[in-house]
Structure 1
């Protein structure tokens, strides 16, 4: 079972079993110690199903571990359940905006860079890491399809100047990607000093109907952001982040300058 289908099945079963138990979303929320809005968001797919939620639902609905089992099955292909709402948006998006204060955004990572990042968690078995690397590379295929989304990526200069051996390859890849007409890369120079983007990564997708979906990640997972007020904050912060970045031509020149310090490929 593919992860996306598994998550959809999990949501269907959550709704079905709640209804069979004679509970509306308000009552189920009270019993599980979640708000009714959270229950609704989980069941409609705007909020990820995490392990605590699945276990609590199993407990209240007396399903014998059904939801935990479905969640773990959905996660086996390297796509964590909390990431599925964003993955759907990413595939459908007309425009993508991404910024990470300390890393190259996932859609622009090389295989070796992605592998190094995923190894930050040294408790993961190698097989799982390789599976997740494959998933990340598969995501990047949207940039090479017939009608790709526009990608605007902002990267902090400090990210470029990591001295890891894999950076020469990664910088060369950024330059190749920047040659694509729909990929726009801008660099925030060190001279910008402190800026709002240092608070954390930003991911935004403009969907075919013109609406936006955001995504915020942390050490434990991530959440899709679809409410108007929170999206307004994310979009405003994005404008601030992009506002301190260099224009594209100067950004590419900076990447080339940093790449030259790594010597010939």
Structure 2
């Protein structure tokens, strides 16, 4: 049973306990047997949309548990090699993200996300699942206490054309510029005239968790690597500082994004 599933079941148990009712009483209230409630809470039976809707309706939760179930479904549709990182991403208070080739997934439009998956490697259904998962991940930036996202991008990311997709890059960069107006989103661009720099060795993300610990993520064509050894994370953090030093300040970066967006019109 995955971490996300355990989290949902834990939330259901805590909610019932907060109502100070037994499993039998809870079941009667929402139209299910006590044994059904017990089976769901212990992981023996998967919660369904009907089950979650019954909880939301009876206890007037505003649809909280149905949303939770659908988020879990999106996570289940996510490639397995990304699931561990997504959990870390959701828990992080700060995300330091360097991208050499694409816009960060948390900042992509749907059209751009689909374009990154073009080329025949994935089936249509797989593309739909990955895009849905990627867009769902973006909700982390809209929650009550979002993480601080500091993204450093190579200028080539802004200027790389997407063939046969007129207007896509203008739309994407307008979206990116709008996001940079958010206090918790910083985007810095490494200009082309920076020449050769350490970041050209590859993209990575460093997530800082509430307890101050750090976990990093790096991926390639076939798989992803979660890096949690302190010495390795420290080396990536040093690389991050060097790469960040090559980038333009926040305001100048936003102006560059807006200028390049105009060039795509």
Q: What displacement does 1:119 show?
A: 2.2
1:75 Cα deviation after fit:
10
Runs of 4+ in 1 over 4 A off after TM superposition: 2-8
CA distance in 1, matches of 2:261, 2:219: 29
Corresponding residue for residue 212 of structure 1: 214
Corresponding residue for residue 257 of structure 1: 259
CA distance in 1, matches of 2:221, 2:80: 15
1:196 aligns with 2:204: no
Larger Cα Rg: Structure 1 or Structure 2? 2
Superimposed CA distance per residue, residues 171-221 of structure 1 (whole angstroms, 9 cap, x where no aligned partner): 001011101110000000001001111111111100000000001101111
C-alpha distance in structure 2 between counterparts of 1:126 and 1:191, whole Å: 39
Query: 3-state DSSP class of the match of 1:204?
Result: strand
TM-score of the two chains, using structure 2 as the length reference: 0.70
Mapped partners of 2:129, 2:101: distance in 1: 23
Pair 156,186 (structure 1): closer, same or farther in 2 beyond 3 Å:
same
Q: Contact 1:7 / 1:81 at 8 angstroms: preserved in 2? A: no
Q: State the secondary structure of the residue aligned to 2:171.
A: helix
* Residues 1:147 and 1:6: Cα distance change in structure 2 (over 3 Å): closer
State whether structure 2 residue 136 is matched by structure 1 residue 138.
yes
Aligned to 1:151: 149
SS of the residue 1:97 aligns to:
strand
Alignment of 1:157-236 (within 5 A): 157-164=155-162, 165-236=167-238
1:256 shift after superposition: 1.1
Kindly indicate whether the alpha-carbon contact (under 8 Å) linking 2:188 and 2:253 is maintained by their aligned counterparts in 1: yes
Q: Report the counterpart of residue 109 of structure 2 in structure 1.
A: 110
> How far apart in 2 are the matches of 1:85 and 1:155?
24
**The residue matched to 2:121 in structure 1 has which SS?**
coil
2:245 aligned residue (234, 243, 246): 243
Q: Give the aligned partner of residue 56 of structure 2.
A: none
Contact 2:92–2:209 (CA under 8 A) maintained in structure 1? yes
Q: Is the 8 A contact 1:75 1:81 kept in 2?
A: no
Task: Give unpaired runs (5+ residues) of structure 2.
Answer: 8-72
Does the 8 Å contact 2:4/2:87 carry over to 1?
A: no
Residue correspondence of structure 1 range 63-142 to structure 2 within 5 A? 77-120=76-119, 122-142=120-140
Aligned-residue Cα RMSD (Å) equals: 2.1
With the length of structure 1 as denominator, give the TM-score of the two structures.
0.70
Q: 1:4 to 1:168 in 2, by over 3 A?
A: farther
Contact in 2 for aligned 1:4/1:84 (Cα 8 Å): no
Provide the aligned length of Structure 1 versus Structure 2: 196
Partners in 2 of 1:262 and 1:161 — Cα distance? 9
Q: Unaligned 5+ residue runs, structure 1?
A: 9-73
